[in-house]
Amino acid sequence: MINGDVILNEALEEIKGLVEIKLKQAAYIQDLLQKNKELQHELDMRDKLKGGDSSESTKPDTSHKQETN
């Protein structure tokens, strides 16, 4: 017979697993954002060395960028 405590414990374990996945995803996204920032900086430096025109900037439009934790 399954009682309420067993169901509750299983649900809590499932929630803990989902939270762990979410934290791993957040860390992965932060890593990707950092790599993107580094690559953008590298592109900007290449543009400067080539004497790039500011109208042809490789910089993305960040006016709508969301704030991350």
What pLDDT, on a 0 to 100 scale, did the predictor assign at position 40? Answer: 97
Residues in the chain predicted with pLDDT less than 50, given as ranges, are none
52-65 residue pLDDT tens: 655 555 556 555 55
Structure tokens at 68: 């991350």
DSSP 54: G
Percent of the chain residues topping a pLDDT of 70: 72
What pLDDT, on a 0 to 100 scale, did the predictor assign at position 41? Answer: 97
DSSP 67: P
Structure tokens at 32: 């990707």
Residues 33 and 68: beta-carbon distance below 8 Å? yes
